[in-house]
Amino acid sequence: MQNTLPSDASYFCFCCSVPVELLELWSWFCFEKEALGVETLQESSKVSLLKISFTKKPDGGAKNIVESFQSELLTAGEIIIQEEGFSPIENWQANWREHFRPVTVGKTLIILPPWETNSELSGRSPVWIDPGQGFGTGHHLSTALALEMLEQHLLAVETVPEKMFDLGTGSGILAIAGCRLGVPQVSAIDLESNAIAEVERNTELNGLSGRIKAQVGQPSLLKQHVSLVICNMLLSELLEIRLDLARLSSPGGTLICSGLLGKQATVIRSSLEELGFDYCSSIERENWWAIQFQQQ
């Protein structure tokens, strides 16, 4: 991830060794906790050494991030902190640009950073993203799968929904893609005020002002129900808002959940079926899952 910071500032970072089986989930978790970036320094068949960067030192430092990961996700593998401290920003923006390249998703979408002004669209609909701290550039599989499933659904329906809810919106990438695919109005919500500021910036960047309404808070703030709800979240977060997912989905409406790793897909499916959702379809890639449900 990338964040806009003054050139003379510094950022907090720590190095940690992580079992390979936890790499994807740990990276996903760090981005959810507002990490700027996750960089692989060394890797072997069993353990990788990572550098995790933040705009500022999280409460409790690296130790608290690791403990939260282990308690929230009930993981057995051990993550060992090697060192932590502050580093100068230097050329953070330039380094970030080296890694954020256009990404094609599905049949119709292409995700681009704002500096790729000469990119060939090849008939695809552009989703311009300057992500800042908000998770969502299309590079991570959880986001790519959410976009792909959203596209599949909207290209298949006879009538495009009048409104979509994007829960845990991050950079706003799913909300913007929904608009590109024909949804007239999207309500996007996130717990982080920084993320909402970035959604508003990305909305303007895509010329969609007036079609995406972003606000800070929990899904409980949303009062009506709609025929399309999408959320790209950790399993623990999805389970926390499961009652809201049922409340916000209109009868016969579609719910898309992404951000699920391995057996987590089975857990969320079972939990939502108890609340009256029917399983419709899923996409799996490298053990990451996106699942589509329909409210009865």
Predicted pLDDT at 90? 56
Radius of gyration of the chain (CA): 19
Predicted pLDDT at 4? 40
94, pLDDT greater than 60 = no
Percent of the chain with pLDDT over 90: 58
Residue 147: in which H helix or E strand, if any? helix 141-156
Of 46, 28, 38, 33, residue with least CA distance to 1: 38
Predicted pLDDT at 96? 55
Compute the mean pLDDT over every residue in the chain, rounded to the nearest whole number. 88
Predicted pLDDT at 287? 83
Q: Can you tell me the distance from the alpha carbon of 148 to that of 256, in angstroms, rounded to the nearest whole number? A: 11
CB contact at 8 A, 132 and 194: yes
Predicted pLDDT at 108? 97
**The token pair that represents 167 in the structure block:** 């829960």
Out of 128-132, 187-191, 195-199, which region has the weakest mean confidence (pLDDT)?
A: 128-132
Of 190, 226, 183, 228, residue with least CA distance to 208: 183
Predicted pLDDT at 95? 55
Q: Say whether pTM exceeds 0.85.
A: no
pLDDT digits (tens, 9 = 90+) for 259-275: 888 888 999 999 999 99
Confidence of residue 3 (pLDDT cuts 50, 70, 90): very low
Which bin fits 287, alpha (ψ -120 to 50), beta or left (φ > 0)?
left
Predicted pLDDT at 212? 98
100, pLDDT greater than 70 = no
Q: What domains are there in the chain, each with its CATH number?
A: 10-95 (3.30.70.120), 100-295 (3.40.50.150)
pLDDT digits (tens, 9 = 90+) for 125-176: 999 998 665 556 667 788 999 999 999 999 999 999 999 999 999 889 999 9
